Amino acid sequence: MAYGYNGRILRVDLTKGTISVDEPGDGFYRRYFGGRGFISYYLLRELKAGVDPFSSENKLVFAAGVVTGAPVGGSGRNSVGAKSPLTGAYGDAEVGGYWGAELKHAGYDAIIVEGKAEKPVYLWIKEGEVEIRDASHLWGKTTAECQEIIRADVGEPLARTAIIGQAGENLVRYAAIINDVHHAAGRTGLGAVMGSKNLKAIAVRGHNRPALANPDAVGALAKWLRDVVGLVMGGFRSQGTAVSLRALNRDGGLPTRNLQQSVFEEADKITGRAMKETILIGQGSCYACPVRCKRIVSVSEPYQVDPAYGGPEYETLAAFGSNCGVDDLAAIAKANELCNAHGLDTISTGATVAFAMECYERGILSERDTGGLKLNFGNASAMLQLVDMIVKREGIGDILAEGVARAANTIGKGAEEFALHVKGQEIPMHDPRYKQGLGIGYAISPKGADHTMSVHDSMYTSEGPLMESGKGLGLLEPLALNDLSPSKVRMVVYHSCWQHLIDCLVLCNFMPFSYRQVEELVCGVTGWNSTVWELMKVGERCLAMTRAFNIREGLGRKDDVLPQRFFTPLPSGPLQGVSIDKDQFEQAKETFYSMMGWDRINGSPGRGKLQELGIEWVSDYLGGEVED
C-alpha cells in the first residue's frame, strides 16, 4: 500500500478537451518525490527543445509533494512549472495556502495541462471527478471576483482556487498564479503560460487525505512545531517575513533605489513592526500551519486596500518600498493588492518599476515615454499608475510587461546597464554584495535570480542555533559574508541540494525543522526508510535535471552571470566600498561545477554523475553535451 500519495497524476488536454490519468509506480515517487522533481522530469521528457513558452506545446505542471496535505505545518504548498516566458529556461514557483493540500485530498498528486482551449475555461476537480468548464464570464475579472463566482458556480463555498488575473490574460511575462486570492506562485511568469492556454482557474475540493504510514510520528512533529512556535518563530507570527527588513537595513543589505544603495533612510516606516502598529488587521495562515505569518491589512485612505488580498510580505515591502524609494506603507499595500488582484509577481513588478525609475532619473526615459508619469524614486502615485499600466499593457507598461531584460533592449540608450536580472529574471530583494554565496546561487539557479534556491550567508557567520543546524550537513565553521572560498562553495552546494529537496517535498522554507526532523517527516508520511543522505540525493537529482533542461535550451556557463552592478562597490552605508570580486566569483563558479560533477566548459552534468544519480536517461536529452 502506498502512503502519503495517491499514485494518480491528472492530464488535461485543453486542445482536445480530454481528461486522462497516469498511474506511475512507487519507484517514480521515491525517485522524484513531487514538486520540482515531477516538473523537471515531465518538462525534460515531454517538451521538444526550443518550444515557444506561449505555444500550445508548452506544458503547465501543478505538482504537490509526498508530504503535501499531511496534518503538519508547512505541508500545504504546491509547485507550478513550465518553460518560462520570462527566461526561456526552466521555470517554476512554489506557493502556499490550501490549494496544494486540497488537490491531494481530491485524489491527485499533480496535474499536467497540455494544449490550448479555443475559449476561456476553468477546471473543476471534486473528489476525483474532473470537468472542463466555460470561463468566458470570468475573463477580465480580478482573482477575488473570480473565486466568488466559481464557488457559487460549483456550489462549494470552500472550494480552493488557483487563478490568473488580467496580467496572465495579457501575457505579462512575469504574471503570477494566485492561490486562495492572496498566495502567489509568483516567479518565472507561469500566470502568462496559464493565460496563453486560455485557462483562467483550477478549483478543487476533496476530503480524502492519503493515509499516513505512521500517524503517531507525524502527530509528534506537528505537536513539537505547535509547542516551539512561540519560542523560535514568535517574530514571524508577530511581523511575518517582514521581521527581517529592519535588520537587513541596519546591516547594509536592503535593496534601495534599484540596488544602487543598500540602506534606506526611511526603512522604519515600512517594517513589519510599522505595519503591525498601523494597517494590520489580522493574520492569515496556510493549511495545518500554527505560525500564521501571513499579513492581512486594510487601508481606507489615501488608497482603499481590500483585506481579501492579504498584505505585503518582506519581498513586496522591499520591492515596492526601499527599491523604489517609497516610504508610504499604504501605497506599498495598494501595490500588493494590485498584484494579487491582477496576478503579478511582486518581486519582478517592483524591480521593473525601480528599473524604469532609474532610467527616468538618468534621462533615458522622459515624460514623453512614460505618458506623463514623473518616475522619480519615491513617487508612490506614479508607481501605482505604472503597475496598472503593466497589467493592461498600456503605453510604457507594454514594454515593461516584457521584463527588464527585454525592456532594456527595446529602450536602448544604455538601459541594459540598469536592468538587473539573471537569465532574464529580476533580482530578488537580497543584495549579493551583502550575501556573496547567495550571489553564486543567483548565477547558477536554473530559473534565474532566485533567493529560495541557495544559501543565505548570514545564517552561518557566527556560532548559534542556525550554525548548529548547519553542522548537521557537515558545515562546521562560520564563514564571513564575503567569503567565496571552496568552503563557502561547499556550503552553497549542500544548501542548493537541500533546497531542491525541500521544493520536491514542497515544504515551507520557514518551518524550523532540523534535517533529521525532515527525514522523520518523510518516513512518517510514506513509510520509506529514508535518510538525510537519500534526501540530499533527491535534491541533487532535481538540480541536475533542471540544469539539463537549460543546457538543452541553449543556456550554460555563459548565462551563469551577475549584473555588473554587483561588481561595483556600494557607495555608502555599513558596506561602503564592498563589491563582489569578479575573479573570485568566476573561480567559485568553476569550483561549484567541479563539486557538482558538471563539466567546466558549459556546466553540463557529466555522464558519470547522471549514472550515479540514477537518471542516466537524461543524457539522451543532452546530445553531445554529455562528457564521459
Give the residue from 36, 328, 27 showing the smallest Cα distance to 190.
36
The answer to whether residue 268 sits within a structural domain is yes
The residue type at 478: P
Same domain, 359 and 256: yes
Confidence category of residue 543, pLDDT binned at 50, 70, 90 = very high
Mean pLDDT over 605-624 rounds to 92
Tell me what pLDDT residue 465 has: 85
Give the residue from 221, 226, 168 showing the smallest Cα distance to 197.
168
What does pLDDT average to over the chain? 96
> 222-248: buried (b, 16+ CB within 10 Å) or exposed (e) per residue?
bebbeeebeeebeebbbbbbbbbbbeb
> 447-465: buried (b, 16+ CB within 10 Å) or exposed (e) per residue?
bbbbbbbbbbbbbbeeeee
Mean pLDDT over 279-298 rounds to 95
The answer to whether the CB of 295 falls within 8 A of the CB of 230 is no
What is the CATH classification number for the domain harbouring 347?
A: 1.10.569.10
Position 548 pLDDT exceeds 80: yes
The answer to whether residue 107 sits within a structural domain is yes
Tell me what pLDDT residue 15 has: 98
Q: At which of 376, 393, 421 does a domain end?
A: 421
Tell me what pLDDT residue 627 has: 57
Tell me what pLDDT residue 509 has: 93
Tell me what pLDDT residue 624 has: 55
Confidence category of residue 625, pLDDT binned at 50, 70, 90 = low
Same domain, 62 and 97: yes
> 251-262: buried (b, 16+ CB within 10 Å) or exposed (e) per residue?
bbbbbbbbbbbb
The answer to whether the Cα torsion of 174, 545, 489, 467 is positive or negative is positive
Same domain, 116 and 54: yes
The answer to whether the Cα torsion of 101, 106, 111, 115 is positive or negative is negative
Residue 294 DSSP code: E
Same domain, 542 and 475: yes
Tell me what pLDDT residue 470 has: 87
pTM listed for this prediction? 0.97
First to last CA, the chain: 40
Give the lowest-confidence range in 22-31, 222-231, 435-444, 569-578: 222-231
The answer to whether residue 428 sits within a structural domain is no
Tell me what pLDDT residue 237 has: 87
Position 565 pLDDT exceeds 60: yes
Position 433 pLDDT exceeds 70: yes
What is the CATH classification number for the domain harbouring 35?
A: 3.60.9.10
What confidence tens digit (pLDDT) does each residue in 227-266 have?
A: 998 777 778 888 999 999 999 999 999 999 999 999 999 9
The answer to whether residue 307 sits within a structural domain is yes
Helices and strands per DSSP (H, E), number in the chain: 24, 16
The answer to whether residue 213 sits within a structural domain is no
Report residue 350: phi and psi, to 5°.
-60, -40
Range of the domain at 458: 436-625
Confidence category of residue 574, pLDDT binned at 50, 70, 90 = very high
Same domain, 374 and 512: no
What confidence tens digit (pLDDT) does each residue in 135-154 have?
A: 999 999 999 999 999 999 99
Give the lowest-confidence range in 229-233, 362-366, 486-490: 229-233
What is the CATH classification number for the domain harbouring 447?
A: 1.10.599.10
Strands (E), 288-405: 294-297
Tell me what pLDDT residue 626 has: 54
Position 369 pLDDT exceeds 80: yes
The answer to whether residue 565 sits within a structural domain is yes
Same domain, 545 and 463: yes
Torsion of CA 323, 328, 329, 332, to 10 degrees: -50
The answer to whether residue 545 sits within a structural domain is yes
Residue at grid coordinates 521515491 = 30
The answer to whether residue 221 sits within a structural domain is no
Percent of the chain with pLDDT over 90: 95
Mean pLDDT over 437-460 rounds to 96
Tell me what pLDDT residue 466 has: 84
Looking at the DSSP bridge assignments, the partners of residue 184 are 178
Confidence category of residue 464, pLDDT binned at 50, 70, 90 = confident
Residue with the larger pLDDT of the pair 161 and 621: 161
Count of domains observed in the chain: 3
Edge-to-edge order in the sheet of strand 110-114 = 18-22, 9-13, 110-114, 60-63, 78-83, 90-95
Same domain, 400 and 452: no
Give the containing element (helix H, strand E) for 81.
strand 78-83
Same domain, 50 and 85: yes
Position 513 pLDDT exceeds 90: yes
Same domain, 197 and 249: no
Same domain, 344 and 386: yes
> 41-50: buried (b, 16+ CB within 10 Å) or exposed (e) per residue?
bbbbeebeee
- Round to whole Å and give the CA distance between 325 and 39: 37
Confidence category of residue 333, pLDDT binned at 50, 70, 90 = very high
Tell me what pLDDT residue 68 has: 98
What confidence tens digit (pLDDT) does each residue in 100-124 have?
A: 999 999 999 999 999 999 999 999 9
Give the residue from 4, 94, 30, 40 showing the smallest Cα distance to 503.
94
Same domain, 181 and 296: no
Confidence category of residue 60, pLDDT binned at 50, 70, 90 = very high
Report residue 570: phi and psi, to 5°.
-65, 140
Q: At which of 205, 226, 261 does a domain end?
A: 205
Same domain, 355 and 303: yes
Mean pLDDT over 34-56 rounds to 98
Tell me what pLDDT residue 235 has: 84
Q: What is the CA radius of gyration of the chain?
A: 23
- Round to whole Å and give the CA distance between 33 and 43: 16
Q: At which of 421, 453, 485 does a domain end?
A: 421
Strands (E), 430-469: none
Tell me what pLDDT residue 95 has: 98
